[in-house]
């Protein structure tokens, strides 16, 4: 029986309704996506995905994390995008408009001034995001689906 089928048929997993609940181990996700644990760790280092970390530092991935990873894999294998290109695309998500944040917030924000990586990959100090948990932020959470990234970029509105 395939691992996907086993997971679908698991009574324990069927009870999990929230796609943001972190339940899958890194090994399970690697098997599901047919990639290595090393690759998953590299995506994390590059800021493409933010898995949940337990108190004992165990990574756990949600269904939305898996959807995000599928999107990343598709961009790499089918569109031949590199990691840098994917990071640039994520950097275009208009977080300042989604939050929103204002002129004085943006003055202290590296993510607003640059476009080399997603906003959640920066170390925010002294700005509106310094005390935020990016994994819980809608800028991160709402963009696990590639179509949503495109839609947000298309709907971009002038900075307040």
Site mask, ligand SF4, residues 97-116, x = CB under 6 A? --x-----------x-----
- Number of amino acids touching ligand SF4 (CB under 6 A): 12
Question: How far is residue 17 from each of residues 30, 59, 88, 125, 145, measured CA to CA in Å?
Answer: 22, 20, 32, 35, 18
**Which residue number, 30 or 93, has a Cβ lying nearer to ligand SF4?**
93
**Which residue number, 108 or 132, has a Cβ lying nearer to ligand SF4?**
132
Of positions 30, 40, 95, 149, contacts ligand SF4 by CB under 6 A: 95
With a CB cutoff of 8 Å and minimum separation 6, the contacts of 3 are 28, 31, 32
**Is residue 129 part of the contact set for ligand SF4 (CB under 6 A)?**
yes
Burial profile 76-91: b = 16 or more Cβ within 10 angstroms, e = fewer? beeeebebeebbbbbb
Of positions 66, 75, 134, 149, contacts ligand SF4 by CB under 6 A: 134
Minimal distance in Å, beta carbon 80 to ligand SF4? 27
* CB atoms closer than 10 angstroms to residue 51: 22
Q: E strands within 5-159? A: 52-53, 59-60
Q: Which range binds ligand SF4 by CB under 6 A, 29-37, 63-71, 82-90, 130-138?
A: 130-138
Binding site for ligand SF4 (CB under 6 A): 95, 99, 111, 119-120, 124, 129, 132, 134, 137, 139-140
């Amino acid at each position: 029986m395939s691992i996907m089928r086993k997971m679908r048929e698991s009574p324990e997993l069927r009870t999990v309704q929230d796609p943001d609940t972190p339940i899958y181990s890194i090994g399970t996700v690697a098997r599901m996506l047919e990639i290595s644990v090393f690759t998953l760790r590299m995506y994390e280092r590059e800021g493409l995905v933010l898995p949940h970390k337990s108190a004992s530092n165990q990574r756990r991935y949600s269904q939305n994390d898996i959807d995000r990873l599928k999107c990343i894999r598709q961009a790499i294998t089918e569109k031949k995008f590199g990691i840098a290109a994917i990071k640039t695309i994520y950097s275009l998500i208009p977080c300042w408009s989604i939050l929103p944040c204002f002129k004085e917030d943006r003055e202290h924000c590296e993510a607003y001034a640059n476009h080399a990586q997603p906003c959640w990959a920066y170390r925010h100090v002294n700005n509106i995001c310094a005390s935020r948990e990016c994994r819980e932020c809608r800028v991160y959470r709402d963009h696990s689906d590639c179509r949503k990234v495109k839609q947000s970029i298309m709907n971009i509105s002038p900075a307040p």
